[in-house]
Amino acid sequence: MKLHAGEPPLGGRSHAQPKTTKIVLIIIFVTLVLLTIIPVFYPLLGYPLYLLRNSSSKPSSTYDSDQELQAASIRISEGENCDIFSGEWVPNHDAPYYTNTTCWAIHEHQNCMKYGRPDTEFMKWKWKPDGCELPVFNPAQFLEIVRDKSLAFVGDSVGRNQMQSLICLLSRVEYPLDVSYTADEKFKRWKYTTYNFTIAYLWTPHLVKSKEREANGPTQTGLFNLYLDEYDEEWTAQIEEFDYLIISGGHWFYRPSVFYENHQVVGCHFCLIQNVTDLTKFYGYRKAFRTAFRAINSLENFKGITFLRTFAPPHFENGLWNQGGNCVRKKPFRSSETVLDGDNLELYMIQIEEFRTAEREGRKKGKRYRLMDTTQATLLRPDGHPSRYGHWPHENVTLYNDCVHWCLPGPIDTWNDFLLQMLKMEGVRSYQERLYSVDRKMRFE
């Protein structure tokens, strides 16, 4: 604090009434001291005091829309410094909150009940962060928060999986209208008319410009050209109008690909082309995220918030996806039973590193980035995939045992619990920023 002796903080008026000035100075001093000290004693760093209300006694697994809406406040019980992304799955007998008959938005290949999945326990869990509660998704509250806003899912079919989960979770309040500007299923738009809220899905499995070079390739899943330093304008040209982006990616980088930079082949991933160096999928993954974030940072008119939804580990066991691997577990892991390692760890770390760099660069341009760090919670759900219940048994599909996508209802409904919680925190943040700007004005005016 800089209040120099003899320097009138509020301009020249002070000379006229020295006594009042002294009192004013004392009041200002006390206020400033309080503003400085409060964050020290409240680790929530200036969050509104209603957030500190004790509500840990209320079981948040029981869902009551009206009651929760009336409360209309953010419940962060005892978890002032709580990392919502670190925790365990606990039983939740109230779940699921929708079914394949109440929600039409479930993608065929994720409609596991339709294809005869016999067990239902995988739907009945909720995420319990260490040290606090993650409230169960409240659709009415979500829609209030996003009124007059727009949200784009940028990525692949796992991103679409989350979008469809969101539409299903919101379906208890409202179904959206299809307002897509194209018949192409890769670019969908949905509008919640009562709330003037738009959801978009922008398909970009590699995040950068890419092209299928051969339909088959070494693994019969296509060989792709990835232009690692070129924007995929199918999405980058569209995002300026959005308030929120949820960007994600991963599984397509496992496919064979040839990497281009500066219009030259620089290497590849499992392309088996003579004289082309195998740089691994990790190389392509890192460069793709770097370019995607560079695109976002370069968009002058983009004022939204970018959420990186981190890598969702697949759960093939006893073989790779094309070698009979499958996911047949019926229960979540406890956090002590598994660790993030191998490819999963590598891909996750690459995302975090590129995210941090982009965030640092973006800050200079007023860009906002948030980490939706779903990897740990997702790692613990080997039981949530379609496995062989993503299609009829006689159907000939590429991913016969699907251990990549997620049954709906299912564990990734929790990604939207995280989303709602993070949107609430944005409210807290903007309150905090207002508080700080008032504070700053008092200091420097």
Ligand X SMILES: *[C@@H]1O[C@H](CO)[C@@H](O)[C@H](O)[C@H]1NC(C)=O
| Residue whose CB is less far from ligand X, 21 or 56 | 56
Residue 301 engages ligand X in binding (rule: CB under 6 A): no
Residue 111 engages ligand X in binding (rule: CB under 6 A): yes
Element (DSSP H or E) covering residue 376 = helix 375-379
Residue 70 engages ligand X in binding (rule: CB under 6 A): no
Burial 83-114 (b: 16+ CB within 10 A, else e): ebbebbbeebeebbbbebeebebbeebbbbbe
275: how many CB neighbours lie within 10 A of its CB? 5
Residue 182 engages ligand X in binding (rule: CB under 6 A): no
Task: Report in angstroms the alpha-carbon separations of 311 from 156, 231, 373.
Answer: 12, 21, 8
Q: Please report, as residue ranges, which positions from 139 to 158 form the binding site for ligand X (by CB under 6 A).
A: 148-150
Residue 262 engages ligand X in binding (rule: CB under 6 A): no
**Segment contacting ligand X by CB under 6 A, of 38-46, 106-114, 175-183, 361-369:** 106-114
Distance of CA 425 to the CA centre of its chain: 13
Q: Which of 70, 101, 182, 301 binds ligand X (CB under 6 A)?
A: 101
Cis preceding-peptide flag for 135 (omega within 30 of 0): no
Minimum Å distance from CB 167 to ligand X? 15
* Angle in degrees, CA 146, 152, 157, rounded to 5: 130
Determine whether 315 is an active site residue: no
Residue 108 engages ligand X in binding (rule: CB under 6 A): no
Q: Which of 1, 15, 57, 364 binds ligand X (CB under 6 A)?
A: 57
Structure tokens of 64? 């009551």
Q: How many CA atoms lie within 13 A of 285 on its CB side?
A: 26
Nearest to 285 by CA among 344, 203, 356, 360: 344
| Residue whose beta carbon is closest to ligand X | 57
Determine whether 402 is an active site residue: yes
Determine whether 55 is an active site residue: no
Q: Please report, as residue ranges, which positions from 375 to 414 form the binding site for ligand X (by CB under 6 A).
A: 396
| Residue whose CB is less far from ligand X, 192 or 285 | 192
| Residue whose CB is less far from ligand X, 38 or 113 | 113
Nearest to 137 by CA among 44, 64, 219, 28: 64
| Residue whose CB is less far from ligand X, 122 or 293 | 122
**Segment contacting ligand X by CB under 6 A, of 10-18, 50-58, 85-93, 345-353:** 50-58
Q: Given the DSSP bridges, would you call strands 187-192 and 197-203 parallel, antiparallel or unpaired? A: antiparallel
| Active-site residue, selected from the candidate residues 157, 210, 248, 387 | 157
Rg (CA), the chain: 25
| Active-site residue, selected from the candidate residues 343, 402, 413, 417 | 402
Q: Which residues are catalytically annotated?
A: 157, 402, 405
**Using CB under 6 A as the criterion, which residues of the chain lie in contact with ligand X when the complex forms?**
54, 56-57, 100-101, 111, 113-114, 148-150, 196, 274-275, 396
